Amino acid sequence: MRTLEDLDFADKRVLLRVDFNVPLADGEITDDTRVRAALPTIEALRKRGARVILVSHLDRPEGRDPRYSLRPLAARLAELTGVDVAFSETVVGAQAEALAAQLAPGGILLLENVRFEDGETANDPAFAAALAALGDIYVDDAFGAAHRAHASTEGVARLLPSAAGVLLSHEVEVLERLLTDPERPLVAAVGGAKVTDKIALLDSFLARADALLIGGAMCFPFFAAEGHATGSSLCEDEDLEPARRLLAEGSERLELPIDLVLGDRFAADAEVRELAGRDVPDGWMGLDIGQLTSAHYAERLHGAGTVFWNGPMGAFELEPFAAGTRAVAEAVASAPGITIVGGGDSAAALAQFGLADSVTHLSTGGGAALELLEGRPLPGIEVLRS
Ligand code: 3PG
Ligand code: MG
């Protein structure tokens, strides 16, 4: 992949794609991790005399919708960098071009949410050309959006000299090393609700990992395939066949919970009981892994050269069913090996338990990290290699 070292930025207008798709509540940024993660590239470009024009999406608006304006991100970025950040209410066109033309070397301009334009997700060549008209060079640091072949992540990279930013390069390096040359043993803990959502990831780790620890509701199709009763646990018919196949292919490396925490319904005030074993009685649903499982998984994670974790072990958003996810998060955080956590729910869980700074690498990508680890080519990365 081309990196910042491959290009000269002095006095250049640099169109920098970042992933500022942060959670907002009533217009307030509730987690600015992704903004802070983009700072090394922004600072590197400013130091080298670039005029920095930032492009990002925020959520999935249907056209121009003020609830999804990036304006609050300009204010946060100004706080974090200590320099003024200009904001363009239009993504492309006259206002954006005029503001871009006024930028001094080292200056920063943030464009409005790129998904306000239909041409973005359509990867429309005319819209990509309008974006390209704003800059002399394109830099992509939006790892979280690298699995999208959109105008600002893929189309525009074909129209300008282009390179990967610091964050994107680092994410790709860490995750590709996990796939190709991990410190062994490689132990992966994968949770979540549905086998079919994670099947490609499970296949990928079954082929590479020394142990694959399963948690979350996705253990029930495995139990059902083994002939256990699942009660009213989440267990969909379509997940049974893939679970059966994974068991047949890798049962010696695939580890399932040996005890569970049950609830009589999915609620914080549900009736709760522990189950030693895997047969869930009628009227009960499995909502977390049990203590023995947590202790066993923690031991496996502590013995790993490399740990990968993605997906909660139970319904951690409900306090009575959070212990398994907390135990795995703590085990990942205290494990002596290299620890890598995929974004999305696992990142939220780590943050909830105050452990976000205790892992080797917390990916800023949810879907992008998973697709990379499934072994799929990501359009936003491939285009920087061609
Ligand atoms: C994410 O939050 O995973 C990225 O910003 C990508 O967002 P998207 O799934 O809406 O494309
Ligand atoms: Mg999203």
Q: What is the pLDDT of residue 90?
A: 98
User: Measured in whole angstroms, how far is the alpha carbon of residue 110 from the centre of its chain?
Assistant: 23
Helix intervals (H) in 12-112? 33-47, 71-81, 94-102
Active-site residue (options: 250, 303, 305, 367)? 367
Measuring CA to CA, which residue among 306, 314, 303 is closest to residue 233? 314
Phi, psi angles (nearest 5°) of residue 53:
-115, 110
Q: How far is CA 316 from CA 123, 253, 331, in A?
A: 37, 26, 16
Task: Tell me how far apart the alpha carbons of residues 302 and 297 are, in angstroms, rounded to a whole number.
Answer: 9
Cβ of residue 303 lying under 6 Å from some atom of ligand 1: no
Whose CA is closest to atom 2 on ligand 1? 21
Cβ of residue 69 lying under 6 Å from some atom of ligand 1: no
Q: What is the pLDDT of residue 344?
A: 80
Q: What is the pLDDT of residue 345?
A: 85
Task: Tell me how far apart the alpha carbons of residues 317 and 352 are, in angstroms, rounded to a whole number.
Answer: 10
Whose CA is closest to atom 11 on ligand 1? 145
Does residue 194 have an active-site annotation? yes
Does residue 367 have an active-site annotation? yes
Query: What's the 163 CA to ligand 1 centre distance in angstroms?
Result: 21
In ligand 1, which atom is closest to the CA atom of 34? 5
Q: How far apart are the first and last CA of the chain?
A: 8
Closest ligand to the CA of 343: 1
Closest ligand to the CA of 58: 1
Active-site residue (options: 311, 343, 344, 365)? 344
**pLDDT tens for residues 263-310?**
999 999 999 999 999 999 999 999 999 999 999 999 999 999 999 999
Pairing relation of β-strands 272-276 and 338-341? unpaired
Q: Which two tokens stand for residue 16?
A: 């920098």
**pLDDT tens for residues 232-261?**
999 999 999 999 999 999 888 999 999 999
Active-site residue (options: 34, 51, 148, 198)? 34
Query: What's the 52 CA to ligand 2 centre distance in angstroms?
Result: 25
In ligand 1, which atom is closest to the CA atom of 148? 11
DSSP of 303-318: T-SEEEEES-SS-TTS
Measuring CA to CA, which residue among 170, 151, 171 is closest to residue 111? 151
Q: In what order do the strands lie in the sheet with 285-289?
A: 272-276, 259-263, 285-289
User: Measured in whole angstroms, how far is the alpha carbon of residue 228 from the centre of its chain?
Assistant: 33
In ligand 1, which atom is closest to the CA atom of 21? 5
Whose CA is closest to atom 3 on ligand 1? 366
SS3 assignment for 101-132 = HHCCCCCEEEECCHHHCHHHHCCCHHHHHHHH
119 close to 127: Cβ distance less than 8 angstroms: yes
Q: Tell me what percent of the chain is helix, strand and coil, each rounded to the nearest 5.
A: 45, 20, 40
To test ligand 1's pocket by mutation, which of 17, 20, 21 has the most ligand atoms within 8 angstroms of CB?
21
Active-site residue (options: 194, 198, 208, 326)? 194
In ligand 1, which atom is closest to the CA atom of 367? 3
To test ligand 1's pocket by mutation, which of 17, 18, 19 has the most ligand atoms within 8 angstroms of CB?
19
Instruction: Output the pTM of the full model.
Output: 0.94
324 close to 288: Cβ distance less than 8 angstroms: yes
Cβ of residue 144 lying under 6 Å from some atom of ligand 1: yes
154-183 b/e (C-beta count within 10 Å ≥ 16 → b): bbbbebbebbbbbbbbbbbeebeebbeebe
User: Measured in whole angstroms, how far is the alpha carbon of residue 348 from the centre of its chain?
Assistant: 10
In ligand 1, which atom is closest to the CA atom of 60? 10
Pairing relation of β-strands 85-88 and 108-111? parallel
Cβ of residue 385 lying under 6 Å from some atom of ligand 1: no
108 close to 70: Cβ distance less than 8 angstroms: no
262 close to 248: Cβ distance less than 8 angstroms: no
Q: Which residues of the chain have pLDDT under 50?
A: none
Q: What is the pLDDT of residue 93?
A: 94
Task: Tell me how far apart the alpha carbons of residues 251 and 23 are, in angstroms, rounded to a whole number.
Answer: 39
DSSP of 202-243: HHHHHHH-SEEEE-STTHHHHHHHTT--BTTS---HHHHHHH
Cβ of residue 366 lying under 6 Å from some atom of ligand 1: yes
Task: Tell me how far apart the alpha carbons of residues 209 and 198 are, in angstroms, rounded to a whole number.
Answer: 15
Q: What is the pLDDT of residue 103?
A: 97
Closest ligand to the CA of 22: 1
